[in-house]
């Protein structure tokens, strides 16, 4: 039976991606996990790997074409002359099974978790995705932080009185809008900051770089690592509100802002709590290089549980960062006109109070211990 390969979703805000490279042709044999194509969004270039070994039966897409997320764009078969299903037959099969799209593994798990039948959920592509399920839950008021960008904007904003022309947002702008709306409509944001003496951190970073032979200044990375340690010590910092309860995450996914050209990325070190300080610093360097080349993978941009942002390189004395969705704490770092370090924090007041945040900033203002 022919196996379909679907256009993957790179991030929650992209409904289309561009096919920029094809590594195979019809009739080729491919191995499992072999790269068969590359797709691009405004945020990243991602390799598409074959989920199984087989022969390429058909390619339903052309270079530079915009592909809808979830659609089939490659068919694989056990034999090179195997037939692929006709579109009408696929539609009949889905109708008979009561499905509007075959769910991905993650979507299926989410459906089971909430006791939802697959036929209830509208599908944005050929396959039912996690995003489709989450949007359905949000529309039913069963999941906070609804990703209803257009509805949220229209419900609060009137059309400007001055004439103008509406311009469609690019994907990266849509992503920023969704984040800002979550910050505005779901979180209850607060902000606190304090100045601190930089010398201890500068000395720590210098010794750390010397010990491990690092060429780049690791100051911001080791400070971000300290935030990971603090979150491990105090789980309520690494949390959000869900279903009227504090939802404490099982892992610390540190999000770190990186400016690459006109794009602002929130790169994510997944499971930061499971690696050591040097591995964390090296991972941060790797992610920043990928961001500069616009080659980040989906899991390097998703699911931050706590955040760190610095604008010291820009000479900015104060910045108040936006909370990424489903986070309660985003640290802001910079240097003021007096040369003092400044640590601020945007926080979700539903999860944390001012006293909690002040304790974090005081702990973060100096290294925990000697260089390891």
| Class for the domain spanning 176-364 | alpha beta
- % of the chain exceeding 70 in pLDDT: 84
**Structure confidence at residue 365 (pLDDT):** 94
Question: pLDDT category, 101, cuts 50, 70, 90?
Answer: low
Phi first, then psi, for residue 45 (nearest 5°) are -110, 130
Neighbours of 287 (CB within 10 A): 20
Question: pLDDT category, 148, cuts 50, 70, 90?
Answer: very low
How are beta strands 341-348 and 189-196 bridged, if at all? antiparallel
- Report DSSP letters for 39-67, one per residue: EE-SS-EEEEE-SS-EEEEEE---TT-EE
Q: Calculate ∠ Cα 79-126-136, nearest 5°.
A: 150
Q: Calculate ∠ Cα 122-301-294, nearest 5°.
A: 115
**Structure confidence at residue 167 (pLDDT):** 87
Neighbours of 28 (CB within 10 A): 14
Name which residue leads in pLDDT, 324 or 117: 324
Average pLDDT over residues 344-366: 95
**Structure confidence at residue 155 (pLDDT):** 45
Average pLDDT over residues 16-31: 89
**Structure confidence at residue 290 (pLDDT):** 92
Helix axes 130-139, 105-114, angle to 10 degrees: 30
Length of the chain equals 372
From CA 347, how far away is CA 366, in angstroms rounded?
20
Average pLDDT over residues 324-352: 93
Alpha-carbon dihedral angle through residues 154, 160, 161, 163, given to the nearest 10 degrees: -120
Average pLDDT over residues 14-34: 87
Average pLDDT over residues 222-231: 96
Domain boundaries, the chain: 3-84, 176-364
pLDDT at 141 over 80: no
Which DSSP helix (H) or strand (E) runs through 87? Answer: helix 87-97
**Structure confidence at residue 243 (pLDDT):** 82
**Structure confidence at residue 40 (pLDDT):** 82
**Per CATH, domain 3-84 is 2.40.50.100:** yes
- Residue-wise pLDDT for 290-310, tens only, equals 999 888 888 898 899 999 999
Entry pTM: 0.61
Average pLDDT over residues 199-215: 94
From CA 117, how far away is CA 100, in angstroms rounded?
11
CB 190 within 8 A of CB 354: yes
């Amino acid at each position: 039976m022919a196996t379909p390969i679907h256009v993957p979703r790179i991030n929650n805000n992209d409904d289309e991606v561009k096919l920029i490279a094809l590594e195979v042709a019809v009739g080729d044999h491919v191995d499992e996990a072999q790269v068969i194509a590359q797709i691009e969004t405004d945020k990243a270039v991602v390799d598409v790997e074959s989920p199984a070994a087989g022969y390429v039966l058909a390619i339903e897409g052309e270079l530079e074409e915009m592909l809808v997320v979830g659609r089939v764009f490659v068919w694989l078969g056990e034999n090179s002359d195997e037939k692929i299903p006709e579109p009408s037959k696929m539609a009949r099969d889905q109708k008979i099974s009561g499905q509007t799209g075959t769910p991905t593994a993650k979507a299926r798990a989410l459906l089971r978790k909430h006791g939802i039948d697959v036929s209830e959920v509208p599908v944005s592509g050929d396959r039912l995705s996690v995003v489709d399920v989450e949007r359905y839950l949000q529309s039913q008021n069963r999941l906070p932080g609804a990703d209803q960008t257009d509805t949220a904007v229209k419900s609060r904003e009137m059309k400007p009185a001055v004439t103008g022309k509406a311009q469609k947002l690019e994907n990266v702008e849509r992503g920023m809008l969704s984040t800002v709306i979550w910050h505005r409509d779901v979180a209850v944001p607060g902000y606190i900051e304090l100045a601190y003496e930089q010398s201890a951190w500068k000395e720590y970073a210098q010794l750390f770089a010397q010990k491990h032979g690092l060429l780049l200044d690791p100051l911001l990375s080791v400070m971000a690592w300290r935030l990971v340690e603090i979150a491990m010590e105090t789980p309520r910092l690494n949390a959000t509100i869900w279903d009227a309860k504090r939802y404490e995450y099982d892992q610390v996914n540190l999000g770190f802002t990186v400016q690459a050209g006109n794009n602002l990325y929130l790169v994510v070190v997944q499971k930061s709590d499971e690696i050591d300080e040097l591995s964390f610093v090296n991972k941060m360097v790797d992610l920043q290089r990928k961001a500069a080349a616009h080659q980040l993978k989906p899991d390097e941009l998703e699911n931050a549980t706590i955040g760190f942002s610095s604008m010291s390189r820009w000479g900015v004395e104060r910045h108040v960062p936006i909370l990424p969705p489903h986070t309660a704490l985003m640290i802001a770092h910079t240097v003021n006109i007096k040369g003092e370090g400044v640590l601020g924090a945007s926080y979700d007041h539903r999860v944390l109070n001012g006293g909690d945040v002040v304790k974090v900033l005081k702990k973060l203002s100096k290294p925990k211990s000697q260089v390891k």
